Chains A and B, each alone.
Chain A
Amino acid sequence: MSLFLALFSGITIAVGVVFFIAGTVALLRFPDPLSRLHALTKADSLGLGLIVLGLLPWAGGWLAALKLILVWLLVLLAGATATQMIAERIRRSGPPQ
């Protein structure tokens, strides 16, 4: 059972890290601000979700697990809000070059 859990966590966290790396590569490589934002937020939100999912079995109690999920939800909320606000500013400052 614990071997199964370890395997599950290892795979989810590794996939989460891949998403983070993909988001960072997109941030560095994509041509315009809107597509960079688009790629970064989604990849990071999913990446953090997968890492939290992988850490849940090892949280040590349901309260700690709940805190981890709360952290993920708060990051989702804050990340989405910040992205929308930056995108709004970009949209208002003129058409993309």
Chain B
Amino acid sequence: MSLVLDLCLALAVIGVAVWTLAVRGNFPAVIGFVAYGLLLALVWVRLGAVDVALTEAALGAGATGVILLFAVVRLRGGKAEIDAATPSGPQRIAAGLLCAVVGIGLAAAVVTLPEPAPSLAAEAARHLPALGVANPITGVLMAYRGLDTLLEAVVLVFAVLAIWTMAPDRRWGGVPGPVFPVQSSGPLSLLARVLPPIGIVVGIYVAWVGADAPGGKFQGGTILAAMGILAWVAGLWRLPPTSARGLRWAVVAGPLAFIGVGLLGFVIADGFLAYPPSLAKPLILLIEGAMTLSVAAALILMVAGPPEGGGRRAP
């Protein structure tokens, strides 16, 4: 039974992937991409990696899908420019061949893994009690491989900066993205009023349970960002200008807390990003809390895009 289910899932993933590549038009391709992400999340669940499944559904399908949809809407009308920038047939074939070679290489590497596959899972699980976190994924991300996670956190800040630099000079420091009119009635208005109180609790809960169960800062932060975007699109909440100090602090709070705790490791433990066992849990919670805020702020700003309104006066 489960083999049939897995086979159906595998075929559906491949089918949706092929459809997404083959379909004409940007909009259907984005819809295909989102469906592909959701199917991929189901695959991760079947593989027992619920943390990855949550991330894939929240970030891979949800947040990325919204960003792509905004991009499609903004690209409308610029057909000549898009055609000029679209790679030619031979270029596409070359790119496809390169992808096929890399894919076959990766598949060969996975298939030829020794049996049983080399694993540090037992070792990682053995040292988990010293950290005070029960979820092995969080243990690996925050303690054993904390440096990788720190770099991921910093990447978010650079992504926001890269988007902001797209703004023309006179818009610098202005309000990011389009300004939506307030929807005083209608289904979107209702949803934007009813859902955020529930969504904010769920987002904080998902970030909080990351210590003991699947969840964490990226998944919870994405849910919080979705609530902010919902209120923004319905016109109920105005995004602050990018010059607002609070907004900038929200984006860098997580990486700053992370780097701060990392440096603290030189004083209270034996090096950068080292936690003394007695303080591991509170320090990890501090970083996760600040990171949840930063992930939410960064994702909202990525969806909104570069400043389009306000900004400093032209000289």
Looking at the assembled complex, report how far the CB atom of A45 sits from the nearest CB atom of chain B, in whole angstroms: 15
Looking at the assembled complex, report how far the CB atom of A14 sits from the nearest CB atom of chain B, in whole angstroms: 15
Q: Which residues of A contact B195 (CB under 8 A)?
A: 74, 77-78
Interface residues of B in 186-200 (CB under 8 A from A): 186-188, 190-191, 194-195, 198
Q: Which residues of A contact B194 (CB under 8 A)?
A: 77
Count residues of chain B with CB under 8 A from any CB of chain A.
Answer: 8
Q: Which residues of A contact B191 (CB under 8 A)?
A: 77-78, 81
Q: Which residues of B contact A80 (CB under 8 A)?
A: 187
Q: Which residues of A contact B188 (CB under 8 A)?
A: 81, 85
Looking at the assembled complex, report how far the CB atom of A33 sits from the nearest CB atom of chain B, in whole angstroms: 15
Q: Considering only CB atoms, which chain A residue lies closest to B187 in the complex?
A: A84
Q: Which residues of A contact B190 (CB under 8 A)?
A: 81
Looking at the assembled complex, report how far the CB atom of A58 sits from the nearest CB atom of chain B, in whole angstroms: 17
**Residues of A contacting B: mostly:** helix
Q: Considering only CB atoms, which chain A residue lies closest to B198 in the complex?
A: A74
A81 touches B187 (CB 8 A): yes
Looking at the assembled complex, report how far the CB atom of B222 sits from the nearest CB atom of chain A, in whole angstroms: 16
Looking at the assembled complex, report how far the CB atom of A9 sits from the nearest CB atom of chain B, in whole angstroms: 17
Looking at the assembled complex, report how far the CB atom of B223 sits from the nearest CB atom of chain A, in whole angstroms: 11
Q: Which residues of A contact B186 (CB under 8 A)?
A: 84-85, 88
Q: Considering only CB atoms, which chain A residue lies closest to B192 in the complex?
A: A81
Looking at the assembled complex, report how far the CB atom of B165 sits from the nearest CB atom of chain A, in whole angstroms: 34
Interface residues of A in 39-92 (CB under 8 A from B): 74, 77-78, 80-81, 84-85, 88
Q: Known A-B contacts: A77-B194, A77-B195. Give 11 more (CB < 8 A).
A: A74-B195, A74-B198, A77-B191, A78-B191, A78-B195, A80-B187, A81-B187, A81-B188, A81-B190, A81-B191, A85-B188
Residues of B within 8 A of A (CB): 186-188, 190-191, 194-195, 198
List, sorted by A's number, 19 A–B pairs whose CB atoms are closer than 8 Å: A74-B195, A74-B198, A77-B191, A77-B194, A77-B195, A78-B191, A78-B195, A80-B187, A81-B187, A81-B188, A81-B190, A81-B191, A84-B186, A84-B187, A85-B186, A85-B187, A85-B188, A88-B186, A88-B187
